[in-house]
Structure 1
């Protein structure tokens, strides 16, 4: 059952990633601006000279950490966004935490984007959550419950996404191991990033303490 869920989640995620590439297709910017000391140490040149789909998670790491703080702008963030999301969702071991990645969408004011761009990102986030949940459940078969789905939900909260549909998924019978793990870790052992989204934390707490969104 888990294998089939993983296969379906993989296919859905791949389609959602391809859609984001289509909607955010553009030429590379001529430069990535920022404070001189940060631009000089974050190896941003490779991000503009490497084909987008070939950029590695390692190459993106420092950029994602610093964008909207010390380097970067809307232009380069939107150009790199498909690859950032692709690596974050499909290869999390080589990416920044989901909370860090998705918080950048809030800083980029994603709700001001064109409707089709907002839909593409939302659909990718849906697919990312389902893939993360499937991964967490596959680990539960070995006695350890993964925590990636929580990280994705927390990141979504930081970006200003409504959480209800993902929280409801956690209450379905198939997701019981993940929900029980969250309850066991609540409130002191959850992702520390929840402290930056008190509204999202309240929504999660309602699920964990009352069993409803």
Structure 2
């Protein structure tokens, strides 16, 4: 499957959401988002909204501010800002994707481009190192918005690019810890009761990741890559 570059998908978001109705009102707790902030959201063209305009809304939507319908309208701009290296730093990418999951984004008419965006995000991780966003951040975001990440982990298991290997090394050495003899992600946004968390835990601890790394050690001849793969294998071995 050919995946468009992430930048191209992001650039197409606003047009893809052209039919999303602009809200005429947004219910909001005044302690969370002030009335004047809501007025900016309602009266400013979506493309012109900036990170500061959307931060309070993005953090509180689906809780004390707004709901799925107005989130649908603002989603393309929120994503444009969240996925820009110098765009929006708050809410975190993971929190925004949690909101999308709660809003049942897959039921929206724009679900196709959102799926394409998530595919492009993961492809970006597998093909770029260092990436503008951390591997754990992206994986947790996808795990918060999608019902399954099994296909993401399957793609990662191929370890077919130096970037995929380097990002796995970085993820295991800086973004996981050992608890009760099992590797667990450090990212606090993971829902530890959810299916996607279980999929990641199984992949890390019950053999699939180690099997993939051992196959990659056999396949790759680069000394630098061999060093990384050996370190990854050593990190995974204590969990068996």
Normalising by structure 1, we get a TM-score of 0.77
Out of 8, 20, 38, the position equivalent to 2:13 is: 20
Aligned twin of 1:190: 186
CA 1:156 to 1:167, structure 2 compared with 1: closer, same or farther past 3 Å?
A: same
Out of 28, 52, 60, the position equivalent to 1:58 is: 52
Aligned twin of 1:98: 93
Q: Counterparts of 2:169 and 2:152 in 1: how far apart (Å)?
A: 15
Checking the alignment, whether the CA contact within 8 Å between 1:157 and 1:197 is kept in structure 2 is no
Aligned twin of 1:168: 154
Normalising by structure 2, we get a TM-score of 0.70
Aligned twin of 2:166: 177
Gaps of 5+ in 1: 1-8, 140-145
Checking the alignment, whether the CA contact within 8 Å between 1:179 and 1:208 is kept in structure 2 is no
Aligned twin of 1:5: none
CA 1:128 to 1:54, structure 2 compared with 1: closer, same or farther past 3 Å?
A: farther
CA RMSD of aligned residues (A): 2.8
TM superposition shift of 1:14: 2.8
Q: How many residues matched?
A: 196
Higher relative helix content: 1
CA 1:108 to 1:42, structure 2 compared with 1: closer, same or farther past 3 Å?
A: farther
Q: Counterparts of 1:56 and 1:49 in 2: how far apart (Å)?
A: 13
Q: Counterparts of 2:88 and 2:139 in 1: how far apart (Å)?
A: 19
Out of 108, 112, 126, the position equivalent to 2:119 is: 126
CA 1:208 to 1:151, structure 2 compared with 1: closer, same or farther past 3 Å?
A: same
Q: Give 1:1-150 correspondences, 5 Å limit.
A: 12-25=5-18, 26-40=20-34, 43-91=37-85, 94-95=88-89, 96-114=91-109, 117-134=110-127, 137-138=129-130, 148-150=134-136
SS in 1 for 2:31: helix
User: Higher Cα Rg: structure 1 or 2?
Assistant: 2
Aligned twin of 2:145: 159
Larger RCO (alpha carbons 8 Å, 6+ apart): 1
Q: Counterparts of 1:57 and 1:134 in 2: how far apart (Å)?
A: 28
Q: Deviation per CA, 1:35-84, whole angstroms, max 9, x where unpaired?
A: 34334268222222222122112221111100010011223211111011
